[in-house]
Structure 1
Amino acid sequence: MSMTFNDQQKEAIFSTEPLVVVAAGAGSGKTRVLTERVMYLCERAFLEPDSQHGAEITEISAITFTEKAAREMKQRIRGSLEEKVQDSKSDEERTYWAKQKEALGSRGYFYIS
């Protein structure tokens, strides 16, 4: 599925800053943007292991305002990780994405109620 993002969303996804805050109204795509941000950071960690701008799933925290939003984000990230495992072009890549998916299952996301 091809996704299009506006300039502000792209800025949040591809930022080299270690912390990114995404605040917007309901239905604006916050969860989608954060999912893409997590996947971007993981991909950078795989493609550029020496880069300080990438991170594995165990190094990422996502904070949401509701438990429902946290579950939705985790579900979307899991789906994206499954796609990465399926689409891997090498054993090394497949192993990396499978490791990220496994680590996600053991991780909790924080939420504020």
Structure 2
Amino acid sequence: MYAFLPRTLPERLSALTELALDLRWTWSHALDALWQTIGPKLWARSHNPCVILQNIPQNRLDELVSDSTFLQDLNRRGRRPCGSGKCRGHRNARRADRDRGKACAISGTN
């Protein structure tokens, strides 16, 4: 999928790859708690979602796939990474998608 994220995640966690590649995490800390939940020690050392996805043990991924609370949080945040859907990035993305006639990947709307 991505050269620098060679690991294949379980389908139910696939949104993590998109969130890690969305560079908003470099300035917006809305998802810090999500990444810290996945790997607290890795997050404390790196504060880098890509490092977490590359280094988190498979058994931890298996645990997360079975954690309904985590999956609900991931699904909610995956649709609106900033938490609101009202930020400038969302407005610009919706406008660009509307102009291209495509679904908005950020807000999850068609």
TM (norm. structure 1) is 0.31
Q: Name the structure where helix makes up a greater proportion of residues.
A: 2
